[in-house]
Amino acid sequence: MNKTNIRLRLLSYGVIAYMLLAFLWWSVLLFNKNRDTFQAKTEVLKIGMIAEGTITNPQELLDNPRYQALSDAYRRQEWMIMGEGLFFIITLIIGIWLINRGYNTQVQAAQQRRNFLLSITHELKSPIASVRLVLETFKKRQLKPEMFAKLTDNGLKETERLHNLVNDLLLSAKLDADYQPHFEPLILDELLASLIEKLEAKYPNAIFTFNCEEDIPVIEADKTGMNSVTINLLENAVKYSPQDPKIDISLRQIGENIELKIADKGMGISDKEKKKIFDKFYRVGNEDTRATKGTGLGLYIVQQTVKAHNGKISVSDNVPQGTVFTIVLPIGQKEL
């Protein structure tokens, strides 16, 4: 939060404090005026009734209907003042809350945009630098076949990383512009098996266990979208796990739905963070010091894509540690 924002916030708090003090002062003056008016009217009524011979002592004044009517009017005035004051306070509190919420939303959005720019810069610089180094090496040196093959593989991995990043950015833009999935028959267990095979080659230290029921039905889904969903969840499970991560994947049919679970034994997600992880650009920690790579788009894409498939996604704690993501998808879809 910069100094200008701090000054503006302090100024707004000062204005609110002034309004509250002014209201309290106005309330005290109004109560005193109402009381003085009542006392003056009571004294006039008392003098008039004594002159008429209607009363002879103070108790008769208190029992007189004319005084009681005057007293009731005074009490109604008091209740009206208190009611108006309470309404003003409630309105002011609601206004303060709305202003504060809007301000916090703007600050959070600005921070998320900053985090995104920092993360996307890091994500782009690394593969570009790697590919550039490979190409410069090819240009300047005559390499042995094994070294040539190794550098080529590294360059291809980095370009694949760039490709996935661009796909995530494009899919995120589509999700913001009323994304409509292209439903087609999809064999989800085959898609998962293919992705797991690729990830096993990419992360040789990771252990993937895939438990799949027999005769999983073909579902109607967007293949590109579901590919992005599963690859994001699987790579997150690896990234946020300690050395030699163990990832358990299960796929089963429940009635007219398919349930996919991806469980890791990593660092886990706190209850506070569980409410935020699906927000666009949100990432845990500080972008300047965070060790794990990413743009904060992955889980946003996952949630929005699952939602577009009329499915549901939830996150829970694994036992004894780690995280479980559960996706429930309907087997059939109706394309709009």
pLDDT digit string, tens, across residues 62-80: 888 888 888 888 888 888 8
pLDDT digit string, tens, across residues 307-325: 989 999 999 998 888 899 9
Cα–Cα distances in angstroms (integers) from residue 259 to residues 225, 279, 292, in the given order: 17, 23, 28
Please say if the pLDDT value at position 236 is more than 80.
yes
State the first-to-last Cα distance of the chain, in angstroms, to the nearest integer: 45
What's residue 289's pLDDT?
Answer: 37
What's residue 62's pLDDT?
Answer: 82
Question: In the numeric block, which tokens belong to residue 76?
Answer: 């109604």
pLDDT digit string, tens, across residues 113-158: 776 676 677 777 778 888 888 888 888 888 788 888 888 888 888 8
Give me the helix-helix angle, 298-308 and 145-176, nearest 10°.
Answer: 50
pLDDT digit string, tens, across residues 42-57: 888 888 888 777 777 7
Please say if the pLDDT value at position 286 is more than 70.
no
Strands 257-263 and 246-254: antiparallel
Question: In the numeric block, which tokens belong to residue 270?
Answer: 């706190």
Confidence of residue 288 (pLDDT cuts 50, 70, 90): very low
pLDDT digit string, tens, across residues 88-107: 888 878 877 887 787 777 77
CA torsion, points 165, 166, 172, 174, in degrees to nearest 10? -160
Q: Find the mean pLDDT for residues 170-199.
A: 84
Q: Is the dihedral of CA 19, 20, 26, 27 positive or negative?
A: positive
What's residue 189's pLDDT?
Answer: 92
Confidence of residue 263 (pLDDT cuts 50, 70, 90): very high
Q: Which CATH architecture is the domain 115-176 placed in?
A: Orthogonal Bundle (1.10)
Closest CA to 173 of 280, 24, 308, 95: 280
Q: What is the CATH number of domain 184-330?
A: 3.30.565.10
What's residue 285's pLDDT?
Answer: 53
What residue segments make up the domains of the chain, in order of their start? 3-112, 115-176, 184-330
